[in-house]
Structure 1
Amino acid sequence: MKKKVVLAGGTGFIGQYFAKKFEKEGYEIHIISRQAQHLSWNDQTAIVKALDGAELLINLAGKSVNCRYNEANKKAIMDSRTETTTILGEAIMACDTPPKVWMNSSTATIYRHADDRPMTEDGGEIGSGFSVDVATTWEETFFSFDLSSTRQIALRIAIVLGKDGGVMTPYLNLVKFGLGGIQGSGRQMFSWIHVEDLFQIVLFLRGREDLTGVFNCAAPEPVSNRELMSQLRTTMNARFGLPAPKWMLELGSVFLRTETELVLKSRWVIPKRLEREGFIFTYPTLRETLENIINE
């Protein structure tokens, strides 16, 4: 019988990458989505059936934060995370043979704006504001389920880089059109992870039955925004890039219907627990990551 994995919210950039990789590993894949061809979030019976006997459940569901934080969008961002997590927790409790592991997305944005020191799982300070409220409420919802037969792991994911999607497309366009200079002060830290390393983390944690709780999913060598844009220009052979001061970003974000926090918040996150447990990154540096995504 085939091993079974359930990808909740599995139609996005990360979910599609994971689906292809799990297919190569010989898994039977079930995707829960709002898209008609997949299992519906409203069909609890079908979700329970999919989860029953599954080796792994990965929840990636949630409305994109790349939007203006008006009241309607804020509610949708919050509800899309807490409601789906609740549906999954209740479905697991209804299973005869619950999944062995439930990995739920969280975000590295849970930590405060950090320009003085890196944030670890043990020593990181939780921030404040809407994005942090979303992250903390999401994790509280997830860990409110006391599941004796299912290991629970929250993945505090940094900005995911990979081909054909995610944030790489807008960054590449900025450089292509000569706008690849620093954003804001350029001193804010940028924590990222290659999508392949994120998948390898999932496999690593799947195999380690002794591990539960929270893990930072970020490459071990974060860089400043200045360094990020410099390496992007170098990799793309762009000779110059105009900087974007804060006032310009504020103005542009209104037209692009997004928030400057996505660019200006200093995310300085390191994967202390993963490294302590022996996980080895394939793409530990930004240079290797960009070379792979852009040039290979």
Structure 2
Amino acid sequence: MKRILITGGTGFVGSFLTDHLTSLGNEVYILTRKDKQSQKKNVNFVQWMSINEPDLPPIDAVVNLAGESINGRWTDDKKQSILNSRLKVTEELLKLVEKMPQKPSVWVNASAIGYYGTSETEVFTERSSRHGTDFLAEVVRAWETKASEAESLGIRTVFTRFGLVLGKDGGVLSQLSLPYRFFIGGTVGSGDQWVSWVHLKDVAELITEAIENEQYSGPVNVTSPHPVTMKEFGQVIGDVMHRPHWLPAPSIAFKIMFGEMSMLILKGQQVLPEKAQNLGYNFSYPHLKGALHDLLQ
């Protein structure tokens, strides 16, 4: 059994991860700004940032998932909040860990494949030297730079770069599949943009691997080994839901609706989980059709 400290433990990824970790017999401590009581076995809410020092036992691992959602129109204020929320939580978490007499052995920090920027032709792995220059890429670089300070405390540090996370309750899948429910689904944008996706179960399992396996360090791409184009993504949704894939959704419509945030759907990158595969991780859902059968039926 390990004691695992989590920020963002009540979010889309954090809730699923918490259930996964406790199912394996671990004890989870979720940092929160409010006084909460847990109804689940082996889950503890710990208030912080409003008191001097939270009451914690020795912690074996830290998982930092906290940060404001990137959903919504990216105004200047929204952008600043997206960046600042991640840096502030990470800074406060570093201060908390620094005071611990017994340091955690590993720090797993959320990150994103947005680090690499967008491309229709390049293939990115953890060895890729190129990084993007757009807003999301800059946020990821700043977040990883701040989290890397954990290394100076002698803590093994892992940056889990998430692809498009697919799950049942939340995330982008419900939005992408909604038109198909009404028989109006079709290719989004050009359809040539890459979708580097990952099932939520594999996210939780890879974070657990990063905690348990000391060979994990630095960036780790948390994506399926089989990315697809947006056209194929839509076709598979239609096939799994027994709905037609016929009505295109033009790029201009998304740009008008979402502004700069539309790049999340209209642009993409082909990212492969080279490190996880080299370390022997076997994906529960390596192929999109299997993942969507699990999530949409």
CA displacement 1:216-262 (0-9 Å, x = unmatched): 110000000000000001000102441111112122326xxx72111
Matches within 5 A, 1:42-121: 42-43=49-50, 45-47=52-54, 49-50=55-56, 52-121=57-126
Provide the rounded CA distance (Å) in 2 between the counterparts of 1:61 and 1:100: 20
Q: Which residue of 2 aligns with 1:251?
A: 256
Which residue does the alignment assign to 1:39?
A: 46
2:16 equivalent to 1:11: no
Write the deviation string for residues 94-141 of structure 1: whole angstroms up to 9, x where unpaired: 101111111000111111212112111112520112111101100111
Q: How far did 1:58 drift?
A: 0.7
Give the match's secondary structure for 2:232. helix
1:144 match: secondary structure: helix
Helix, strand or coil at the partner of 1:21: helix
Q: Which residue of 2 aligns with 1:274?
A: 276
Contact 2:156 2:217 in 1 (8 A): yes
What are the within-5 Å matches in structure 2 for residues 1-296 of structure 1? 3-37=2-36, 38-43=45-50, 45-47=52-54, 49-50=55-56, 52-253=57-258, 259-295=261-297
User: Deviations for 1:194-222, whole angstroms, at most 9, x for unmatched residues?
Assistant: 11111111222222223311111100000
1:3-44 per-residue CA deviation (whole Å, 9 max, x = no partner) reads: 311110111111110111122122222112345424344146
Distance 1:108 1:98 in 2: 29
Q: What is the rounded CA distance, in whole Å, between the counterparts of 2:294 and 2:185 in structure 1?
A: 19
Distance apart, 1:45 and its partner CA:
4.1
Q: Note if contact 2:165-2:198 (Cα within 8 Å) is conserved in structure 1.
A: yes
Structure 1 distance, partners of 2:127, 2:216, is 15
CA distance in 1, matches of 2:116, 2:122: 11
Instruction: Mark the CA change 1:35 to 1:148 in structure 2 (over 3 Å): closer, same or farther.
Output: closer
Counterpart contact for 1:233–1:241, Cα < 8 Å: no
SS in 2 for 1:146: helix
Query: Which AA in structure 1 matches 2:151?
Result: D
Shift of 1:284: 0.5
8 A contact 2:187–2:245 mirrored in 1: no
Judge conservation of contact 1:111–1:126 (CA < 8 Å) in 2. yes
Secondary structure of 2:17's match? helix
* Contact 2:120–2:193 under 8 Å retained in 1: yes
TM-superposed CA distance for 1:266, in Å, is 1.4
Distance change >3 Å, CA 191–CA 35, structure 1 → 2: farther
State the alpha-carbon separation in 2 of the partners of residues 226 and 144 from structure 1.
40
Aligned partner of residue 67 in structure 1, secondary structure: coil
Measured on the aligned residues, the alpha-carbon RMSD in Å equals: 1.7
What is the CA deviation profile of residues 135-173 of structure 1, one whole-angstrom value per residue up to 9, with x for unaligned ones? 110011111343344211111111111111111211221
For 1:139, the aligned partner's letter is E
Q: Distance in 2 between matches of 1:226 and 1:240?
A: 9
Structure 2: unaligned runs, 5 residues or longer: 37-44
Q: Is the 8 A contact 1:119 1:268 kept in 2?
A: yes
TM-score by length of 1: 0.92
Give 1:60 deviation, angstroms.
0.7
Inter-CA distance 241–39: structure 2 relative to 1 (3 Å threshold)? farther
Gaps of 5+ in 1: none
The structure-2 alpha-carbon separation of the partners of 1:169 and 1:124, relative to structure 1 and needing over 3 Å to count, comes to farther
